Structure 1
Amino acid sequence: MPKKHFEPENKIEKWLNEQVRKLGGKSYKFISPGNPGVPDRIYLFPGGKVYFVELKRIIGKLSNVQVWQREQFRQMGVDVKVIYGMDQAKEFVKELKHEVCTTQLPSICNQ
């Protein structure tokens, strides 16, 4: 029986970063010395829309410190989107495109 193939996290991240840029957004790697467990990426869009995203392989799971950090964000009223695998990354891009096209950069949708 062949092994099931799972996309590596870095491949998902690279693809997602490209999609964010195509939608007019900016992608930043989030590294915060002394604060382990912060989300992998910050995505910024015109109009002030900010997304904090933690990427995982489809079989990955959040570490205890990531769960704790996510709760810290939540207590501040900030959502952290956790994306498991390429399928969820594609769904997230659909959500982003819908939001960008309807509220922020309608011109992107006409391309």
Structure 2
Amino acid sequence: MKRSIENIVKRAEVSEKAIEQYLTDSVKKLGGICLKYSNPGMVGFPDRVCLLPNGVTLWVELKSKGQQLRTMQRIRITQMMRLGHTVSVCKSKEDIDRMLEPYKTADHDF
């Protein structure tokens, strides 16, 4: 029973929902806004768009550990990057920390 509870807690910590909440909180700490993105007519776009100070925009696709991008997601991400947008795929809190590291400064001047 104890092992079962530990597995549930461990899975909850790496779930897409937990990673999404961590992203939202991390962006807020930087003085930004993390919006859920949804466009019913166009599939494959990243889950979140992060608006950081000084006009920085980051697109983020969130996946829980072990999940892979769908074909349409790969196509959209490639298309967006070719247009010059910054797009990251984050599967962990560590991925989010790495993505946001360049934007962490005391005065948010980047």
- Among candidates 93, 100, 106, match of residue 86 of structure 1: 93
Once the two structures are TM-superposed, the CA of residue 22 in structure 1 deviates from its matched residue by 1.2
SS at match of 1:54: strand
The unaligned stretches of length 5 or more in structure 2 are none
Distance of 1:45 and 1:90 partners within structure 2: 15
The unaligned stretches of length 5 or more in structure 1 are 107-111
Residues 1:51 and 2:64 are matched in the alignment: no
> What is the number of equivalent residue pairs in this alignment?
102
TM-score, normalised via structure 2 length: 0.79
Residue 13 of structure 1: aligned partner: 20
Distance of 2:63 and 2:103 partners within structure 1: 19
Distance of 1:34 and 1:93 partners within structure 2: 30
Distance of 1:73 and 1:80 partners within structure 2: 7
TM-score, normalised via structure 1 length: 0.79
Q: CA, structure 1 residues 105+89, in 2 after alignment: closer, same or farther (shift >3 Å)?
A: closer
Residue 27 of structure 1: aligned partner: 34
Q: CA, structure 1 residues 46+87, in 2 after alignment: closer, same or farther (shift >3 Å)?
A: closer
